[in-house]
Amino acid sequence: MQRRKLGGEFKIEAVRLVRERGVSAAQADRNLNVYMGMTLVYAGIAIGLDEPVALALLPLVLIAIQTHVIAREERYLETKFGDDYRRYKAEVRRWL
């Protein structure tokens, strides 16, 4: 399934929904990037400390983030925002 490109109209609607919930667009964007940031910090520390085992364990860290952090957060958001969040989730990538 190929993701459709998000046009200006969708982005305006997303910003409107975010603001209605009392969250700034910058905060929402930051929250989306936190998972990638966590991954890069972990990889950077593993490389900086010259720990190939830690780098080899990165896929397990990513699985843990996906199953324990992202999945729990998505359940909460689906409960709180319902169909609005499910539509948003269908259009926006998690990691990039």
Going residue by residue through the chain (96 aa), what tens digit of pLDDT does each one get? 455 555 666 667 666 766 777 666 566 666 666 777 888 888 888 888 888 898 899 999 889 888 888 888 888 888 888 888 888 777 776 665
Residue 88: CB partners within 8 Å, gap ≥ 6?
A: 14, 17, 81
74: left (phi over 0), alpha (psi -120 to 50) or beta: alpha
Q: What is the pLDDT of residue 74?
A: 84
Q: What's this model's pTM, rounded to 2 decimal places?
A: 0.53
